[in-house]
Structure 1
Amino acid sequence: MQIAIYTIIIASLMSVKPIVTESKNDTTTRPKIDRSYYQMPTFINVCDISDRRSKLHCYCDSNKPKLATKVDCWIFSSGITKDDPIWPSFISQPEIERLTFNVRIEDALTFIPAKAIVRLDKLKYISIQLATIKRIPPYAFTNSSTIRQIILKSNKISTLEKHSFSQLMMLSNLSLDDNHICELKRDVFFNLPNLHILHLSNNNLSLLHEGCFKHLNNLIELRLDTNYISVITKEMLEGLENLSKLNLKNNKLTMVGNLAFSELWGLKELMLDNNAIEYISERAFGGLIQLRKLTLSGNKLTSFYEDVLADIRSLIVLDLRDNLLTTISYETIRPVVENDKALSSVVYLDGNPLSCDCRLAWIYALRNETKDSTLKNALEKVTCLTENNDIDRNLNDQIGEQGENPNLVSHTSYEYYDKKMERTEFEMDDEINITDETQDMPIKLLDIPVEELSCPKELMKSIQDSYGHPIQNEIRLKAFSGIHTKFTLSNVGTAPRFNPSLEHSKPGYFTWSFSVGNDA
Structure 2
Amino acid sequence: MRLGSKVRDQPRLSTQELDALENMCDLQSLSDTTYCYCDHLTRDDATISNCWVYGDTRPNSTLWDTFHHQKRLHRLTVNLRGDGSLDFVPSRILSYTPQLWMFEIKNANITRVVSEAFTESESVAELRLTSNGIVRLEKHAFNSLTNLTRLNLGKNKITALGRHVFKNLPKLKLLFMDRNEIAKIRSGAFVGLDVLQVLELYDNRLDHLSHGTFRGLKRLERLDLHRNLIESIEDRTFSTLPSLRELDLEGNRIKYISEKGFSGLKNLMRLNLHDNKLLSILPGTFVETPELFFLDLRQNVLDTLEEKTFSPIMDNLKNITMYLFVRASWPFSSRHPCSF
TM-score under structure 1 length normalisation: 0.60
Work out the CA distance in 2 between the residues paired with 1:143 and 1:342: 53
| Partner of residue 187 from structure 2, selected from 194, 210, 225 | 210
Q: Does 1:75 align with 2:53?
A: yes
Q: Read off the aligned partner of 2:46 and give its amino acid letter.
A: A
Contact 1:314 1:341 in 2 (8 A): no
Structure 1: which 5+ runs fail to align?
1-37, 380-520
Work out the CA distance in 1 between the residues paired with 2:83 and 2:17: 35
Q: 1:137 to 1:60 in 2, by over 3 A?
A: same
Q: Does 1:306 align with 2:283?
A: yes
Q: How far 1:343 moved relative to its partner?
A: 5.6
SS of equivalent residue, structure 2 residue 96: coil
SS of equivalent residue, structure 2 residue 26: coil
Work out the CA distance in 2 between the residues paired with 1:135 and 1:171: 20
Contact 1:337 1:346 in 2 (8 A): no
Q: 1:304 to 1:210 in 2, by over 3 A?
A: same
Contact 1:45 1:65 in 2 (8 A): yes
Work out the CA distance in 2 between the residues paired with 1:119 and 1:226: 37
Structure 2: which 5+ runs fail to align?
1-15
Q: Does 1:85 align with 2:62?
A: yes
| Partner of residue 108 from structure 2, selected from 110, 131, 137 | 131
Q: Read off the aligned partner of 2:257 and give its amino acid letter.
A: I
Q: How far 1:342 moved relative to its partner?
A: 5.7
Q: How far 1:140 moved relative to its partner?
A: 1.1
Contact 2:326 2:333 in 1 (8 A): no
Q: How far 1:334 moved relative to its partner?
A: 3.8
Q: Does 1:155 align with 2:125?
A: no
Q: Does 1:164 align with 2:149?
A: no
Deviates more, 1:243-252 or 1:337-346: 337-346
**In the alignment, what sits opposite 1:194?**
171
Q: Read off the aligned partner of 1:68 and give its amino acid letter.
A: A
SS of equivalent residue, structure 1 residue 71: strand
**In the alignment, what sits opposite 1:446?**
none
Work out the CA distance in 2 between the residues paired with 1:145 and 1:332: 50
Q: Does 1:295 align with 2:272?
A: yes
**In the alignment, what sits opposite 1:265?**
242
Q: 1:291 to 1:106 in 2, by over 3 A?
A: farther
Runs of 4+ in structure 1 over 6 Å off: none
Contact 2:89 2:117 in 1 (8 A): yes
Q: How far 1:310 moved relative to its partner?
A: 1.0
Q: Read off the aligned partner of 1:318 and give its amino acid letter.
A: L
- Per-residue deviation, residues 53-99 of structure 1 (Å, max 9, x unmatched): 4311000110011100000001112x210010010110100000000
Matched positions, count = 325
**In the alignment, what sits opposite 1:97?**
74
Identical amino acids, percent of aligned pairs: 32
Q: Read off the aligned partner of 1:262 and give its amino acid letter.
A: S
**In the alignment, what sits opposite 1:120?**
97
Contact 2:199 2:220 in 1 (8 A): yes
Work out the CA distance in 2 between the residues paired with 1:328 and 1:292: 20
Contact 2:191 2:216 in 1 (8 A): yes
Work out the CA distance in 1 between the residues paired with 2:213 and 2:302: 30
**In the alignment, what sits opposite 2:43?**
65
TM-score under structure 2 length normalisation: 0.91
**In the alignment, what sits opposite 1:282?**
259
**In the alignment, what sits opposite 2:3?**
none
Contact 2:230 2:253 in 1 (8 A): yes
Q: 1:163 to 1:344 in 2, by over 3 A?
A: same
Contact 1:318 1:336 in 2 (8 A): no
Work out the CA distance in 2 between the residues paired with 1:41 and 1:74: 23
Q: How far 1:330 moved relative to its partner?
A: 2.9
Work out the CA distance in 2 between the residues paired with 1:40 and 1:257: 59
Work out the CA distance in 2 between the residues paired with 1:43 and 1:341: 70
Q: Does 1:361 align with 2:302?
A: no
Work out the CA distance in 1 between the residues paired with 2:220 and 2:316: 23
Contact 2:150 2:173 in 1 (8 A): yes
Contact 1:205 1:227 in 2 (8 A): yes
Q: Is the radius of gyration larger for structure 1 or structure 2?
A: 1
Q: 1:41 to 1:165 in 2, by over 3 A?
A: closer
Q: Read off the aligned partner of 2:272 and give its amino acid letter.
A: T
SS of equivalent residue, structure 2 residue 92: helix
Q: Does 1:145 align with 2:127?
A: no
- Per-residue deviation, residues 195-241 of structure 1 (Å, max 9, x unmatched): 00000001110110111100111110001111111111121111011
Q: Read off the aligned partner of 2:92 and give its amino acid letter.
A: K
Q: 1:267 to 1:158 in 2, by over 3 A?
A: same
- Give 1:410-449 correspondences, 5 Å limit: none
SS of equivalent residue, structure 1 residue 100: strand
Q: 1:106 to 1:250 in 2, by over 3 A?
A: farther
Work out the CA distance in 1 between the residues paired with 2:196 and 2:110: 25
- Give 1:479-490 correspondences, 5 Å limit: none
Q: 1:41 to 1:98 in 2, by over 3 A?
A: closer
